């Protein structure tokens, strides 16, 4: 198994901040900080270990991949990444968080 170095770009964090509030939302939406400290680490691991098996969102551009999944904090997330040609690292460049949240009790914390 090939394990790749993964970097999260500054633009990625700007996009994350635009999609999640600074404080928990009325339906339990997580903060950007909660997502970055939790679910983001799982997404980084997924890109590090499964790059070659991820979908290519742009035909003919195998240097781009997308991971669409659900996480502990959000109903779905699509994360886009590019293989950096200089050192072969994966850079997370874009994120689209799912919503609206299904109900105030999601995620189930029981």
Architecture category of domain 6-97 in CATH: 2-Layer Sandwich (3.30)
The tens digit of pLDDT for each residue in 39-48 reads 999 999 999 9
Cα 105 from Cα 110, distance rounded (Å): 10
Q: Using an 8 Å Cβ cutoff, are 109 and 30 in contact?
A: no
The tens digit of pLDDT for each residue in 52-96 reads 999 999 999 999 999 999 999 988 999 999 999 899 999 999 999
- Beta-strand runs (E) in the chain: 6-8, 64-69, 77-83, 90-97
Say how many CA atoms lie within 13 Å of 32 toward its Cβ: 13
Cα 50 from Cα 54, distance rounded (Å): 6
Cα 31 from Cα 80, distance rounded (Å): 20
Q: Could you tell me the pTM of the whole model?
A: 0.85
Q: Using an 8 Å Cβ cutoff, are 26 and 58 in contact?
A: no
pLDDT of res. 65: 97
């Amino acid at each position: 198994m090939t394990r790749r170095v993964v970097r999260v770009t500054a633009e990625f964090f700007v996009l994350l901040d635009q999609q999640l509030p600074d404080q928990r939302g009325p339906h339990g939406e997580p903060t950007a900080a909660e997502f970055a400290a939790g679910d983001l680490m799982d997404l980084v691991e997924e890109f590090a270990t499964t790059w070659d098996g991820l979908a290519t969102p742009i035909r003919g551009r195998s240097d781009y991949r997308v991971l669409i999944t659900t996480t502990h904090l959000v109903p779905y997330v699509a994360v886009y990444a590019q293989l950096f040609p200089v050192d072969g690292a994966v850079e997370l460049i874009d994120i689209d968080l799912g919503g609206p949240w299904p109900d105030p009790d999601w995620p189930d914390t029981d």
